[in-house]
Structures are given as C-alpha cells and as structure tokens.
C-alpha cells in the first residue's frame, strides 16, 4: 500500500513539472503558424512533447511547404514510444479499450515513473497516475500558452523563437549520459548545419537522423555495459 | 498541405506508432539493434532541431540573439535548473540581446 502511495507521489512530482512545458509548446505553436485550436488538437491527439515541438519547429522555419518533413520528423521522434509500449504493455494489462487509452498515454514520463517502481501494483499505479496527470496538465497548459502566444503577437521581440531551441535542449540533455549518444548528437548537429543552406527546410533534420541509423546499426562508440539493455531516459 | 492536414496526419502517425508497441509481440522489437537505433534516433533528431532552431532562417544560416540564448540554456541545464525556468531564461536572454543591440 505504501508502495502505491509512493508511486502516486512520484506521479505528481513528475506530472506537474512536465505539465509546465505545455505553456511553452502552446505559445510556440501559435507563433509557428498554428491557431489556438490546432495547438490544442495536437496536444489532445498527438500527446508526445518531442514530436509536437518537432512539427511546429519545422513549420516555423519552412511553413506548410515543409509539411511532409514536419510529419516525418514528428513520427520518427515518436518511434521511441513504441519501445516504451513494449515495456509497459505487460504492466498495464486489461482489455482493449483500456489498452488503447494506455497506448495514448505511453510517453517518456509515464514509462519512466512506472518502470522505476518496485512492485507490479506500484508500477501500474505509477503509469496511470502519471499518464492522467500529464495528459490533463499538458492540455490545459497548451491552451493557456496558446492564448498567451496569441496575445503577444511579434514573438522575436520576446525571444520566444530562442525558447524553442532551449526546449529541445531540455529534452536532449538527460539522454547525453554516454559516449554513443553524445557522438550521435554532435554528428547530427554538424550534418544539419552543413545541409541547412543547400536543402529545403525540414529535410536537413531528416537526413541528420541517418547519423543515428548508421551509428546504431554498427554499434559504433558502444557502451561497455550489457548489450540489449534498453534503458528508458526520463 | 494545409496546417490542419499536417496537424492531423502527424498526430495520427504518432498515435499509430504508440499502438504498434501494444500490438506486435515484444520479441520482434526488443532485440538490441532496433532498440538502440530508436533511442539514438531521438538524440539525432533533437540535436538537429536545436541547430535548425538556433541557426536556421528559412533556407540559410544566421547567427543572432538565439545563439547566446542557447548558451545560457546549456549552462542552466548543466546546473540542473528546472525546464520551464531555463526556457524562460533563454527567451529573456534573446529579448535582452535584441533590445541592447
């Protein structure tokens, strides 16, 4: 019982902190060319922070002409959720309607809180509480952020365009714990910088993703730990 | 494409990928290589997006107030500052640099 209480506490700590990013997403979405409704629909339906920031980031630089690249980047960033699903599906249990909702709530935070709990009951509690708190919080703060962004108008005066890069850095930072991801991050940054002037907006990001495929395929700069351990960064 | 089409298609794609993880047997994807590539993919995309957001302006590279803002953000993340404060500080830095120069 106290394990479950601890799981609920962890859910609130993580959920409330994460919900705050919704403000920056909502504000940036509106300044990237979405209206308030589109920003809210994205948070309701997509519900995956990294993918959402990717889509609006590419729309901000390339407009709707970069739509294909925006969708592809969002989807590629969402592939890790499928891996999370493999880990939490046995924890969640239940029948199909419940599993569909669980799938929608399978994100970085719910997976991280669930897998950090000691017992199966506490894991299930952690997953559902974190999923629910983040879902409600993220959508509320998206709306608030979008309304604020709508009021602000010209955003470069407030530095909101720079906030997007800082938001991505915040998502990247906890993943740079070993040599392999650091090498991939540096390599992808170089590829993107070189390609920006020669290719349409959005395409450099997709080609930079090839760095991950090549390094991951041959397992260059591999960590010395046990192979096959799929860690879940928070 | 319209913004609505992009928003809806991207949302459906991301949602479908989440569902895939519940449908396929774990043995297919939990092998080390696909798992490793998927994790590194996240790193590569985020890193490339940082570069585009910091230096890109349409199809070109511009060094402006976004660069000091990103440096401030990196320093604050290194000090384990909460996400929302760092994002606000980065915006504030860019706004300040633009107001001064």
User: For residue A25, which of A156, A149, A157 has the smallest C-alpha distance?
Assistant: A149
Give me the pLDDT at residue A234, please.
Answer: 40
Given this model, what pLDDT does residue A153 score? 74
Residue B84 has what pLDDT?
Answer: 79
Residue B65: closest C-alpha in chain A: A162
- Say what the pLDDT of residue B75 is: 97
Distance CA A124, CA A119 (A): 9
Question: Smallest Cβ distance to A79: which of B11, B38, B61?
Answer: B38
Average pLDDT over residues B90-97: 94
Q: For residues A15 and A133, is the Cβ–Cβ distance under 8 A?
A: yes
A213: pLDDT strictly greater than 80: yes
Average pLDDT over residues B45-69: 91
- pLDDT the model gives residue A94: 80
In chain B, what is the straight-line distance between the N-terminal and C-terminal CA atoms, in Å? 38
Segment holding B99, helix H or strand E: helix B83-100
Query: What pLDDT score was predicted for residue B71?
Result: 97
Q: Tell whether the model's pLDDT for residue A188 goes beyond 90.
A: yes
Q: What is the pLDDT of residues B21-55, one digit of tens each?
A: 898 876 766 678 888 888 898 899 899 989 998 99
> Exposed (0-12), middle (13-18) or buried (19+): which is B12, by Cβ within 10 Å?
middle
In terms of average pLDDT, the best of A229-233, B38-42, B88-92 is B88-92
As a whole number of angstroms, the distance between CA A174 and CA A52 comes to: 19
Quote the pLDDT of residue A40.
98
**pLDDT given at position B30:** 64
Q: Which residues of A fall within a CB distance of 8 Å from B84?
A: 20-21, 23-24
Mutation to test the A interface, candidates B3, B10, B84, B92, most A Cβ within 10 Å: B10
Nearest CA of chain A to the CA of B100: how many Å? 11
Determine the pLDDT at residue A233.
Answer: 47
**Predicted pLDDT of residue A38:** 97
CB-nearest partner of A193 from B41, B44, B55:
B55
Whether the per-residue pLDDT at A228 is higher than 80: the answer is no
The ipTM, to two decimals, is 0.91
Strand partners, B56: B61
**What are the phi and psi torsion angles at B61 (to 5°)?**
-115, 130
pLDDT confidence of residue A155? 65
A107-127 residue pLDDT tens = 988 998 998 888 999 999 999
Segment A87-103 mean pLDDT: 88
Mark out the alpha helices in chain A (DSSP H runs). 2-19, 21-31, 36-45, 49-62, 67-77, 79-92, 96-104, 108-115, 120-152, 160-172, 179-195, 203-218
Distances (CA, A) of A163 to A29, A41, A126, A197, B90: 12, 22, 30, 22, 6
Closest-CA distance of chain B to residue A177, Å:
11
Tell me what pLDDT residue A181 has: 96
Q: Does A48 touch chain B (CB under 8 A)?
A: yes
Per-residue DSSP letter, A33:
T
> Stretch A15-42: mean pLDDT, rounded?
90
Q: How confident is the model at residue A207 (pLDDT cuts 50, 70, 90)?
A: very high
Q: CA torsion, points A90, A8, A47, A201, in degrees to nearest 10?
A: -100
Global confidence as pTM: 0.85
Give the tokens for residue A157: 């005066």
Nearest Cβ partner for B93 among A67, A159, A211:
A159
Which residues from A are below 8 Å from B75, CB to CB? Answer: none
Closest CB to B43: pick one of A99, A170, A184: A184
- Contact between B24 and A83 under an 8 Å Cβ cutoff? The reply is no
Q: How many CB pairs under 8 A join A and B?
A: 324
Over range A171-194, report the average pLDDT: 95
Cβ atoms within 10 Å of A32's Cβ, excluding its own? 25
Residues in chain B: 101
* Spacing of C-alpha B63 from chain mean position: 19
Confidence band of A218 (pLDDT split at 50, 70, 90):
very high
What is the model's pLDDT at position A1?
60
Which of A124-133, A145-154, A160-169, B26-35 is modeled with the greatest confidence? A124-133
Q: Other CB atoms closer than 10 Å to residue A113's CB: what's the count?
A: 29
């Amino acid at each position: 019982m106290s394990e479950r209480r601890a799981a609920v506490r962890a859910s609130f700590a993580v959920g409330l902190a994460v919900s705050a990013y919704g403000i920056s997403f909502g504000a940036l979405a509106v300044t990237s060319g979405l209206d308030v409704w589109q920003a809210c629909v994205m948070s309701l339906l997509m519900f995956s922070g990294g993918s959402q920031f990717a889509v609006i980031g590419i729309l901000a630089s390339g407009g709707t002409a970069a739509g294909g690249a925006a969708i592809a980047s969002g989807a590629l960033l969402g592939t890790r959720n499928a891996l999370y699903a493999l880990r939490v599906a046995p924890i969640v249990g239940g029948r199909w309607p419940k599993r569909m909702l669980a799938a929608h709530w399978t994100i970085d935070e719910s997976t991280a809180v669930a897998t950090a709990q000691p017992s199966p009951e506490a894991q299930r509690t952690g997953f559902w509480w974190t999923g629910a708190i983040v879902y409600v919080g993220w959508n509320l703060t998206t709306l608030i952020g979008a309304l604020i962004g709508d009021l602000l108008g010209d955003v470069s005066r407030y530095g909101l365009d720079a906030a997007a890069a800082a938001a991505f850095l915040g998502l990247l930072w906890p993943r740079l714990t070993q040599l392999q991801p650091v090498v991939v991050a540096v390599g992808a940054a170089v590829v993107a910088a070189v390609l920006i002037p020669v290719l349409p907006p959005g395409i450099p990001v997709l080609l930079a993703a090839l760095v991950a495929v090549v390094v991951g395929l041959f397992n260059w700069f591999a960590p010395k730990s046990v192979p096959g351990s799929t860690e879940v960064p928070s | 494409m319209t913004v609505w089409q992009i928003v809806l298609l991207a949302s459906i794609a991301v949602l479908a990928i989440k569902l895939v993880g519940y449908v396929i047997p774990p043995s297919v994807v939990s092998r080390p290589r696909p798992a490793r590539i998927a994790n590194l993919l996240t790193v590569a995309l985020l890193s490339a997006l940082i570069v585009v957001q910091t230096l890109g302006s349409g199809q070109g590279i511009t060094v402006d107030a976004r660069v000091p803002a990103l440096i401030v953000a990196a320093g604050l993340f290194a000090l384990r500052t909460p996400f929302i404060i760092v994002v606000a500080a980065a915006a504030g830095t860019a706004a300040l640099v633009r107001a001064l120069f």
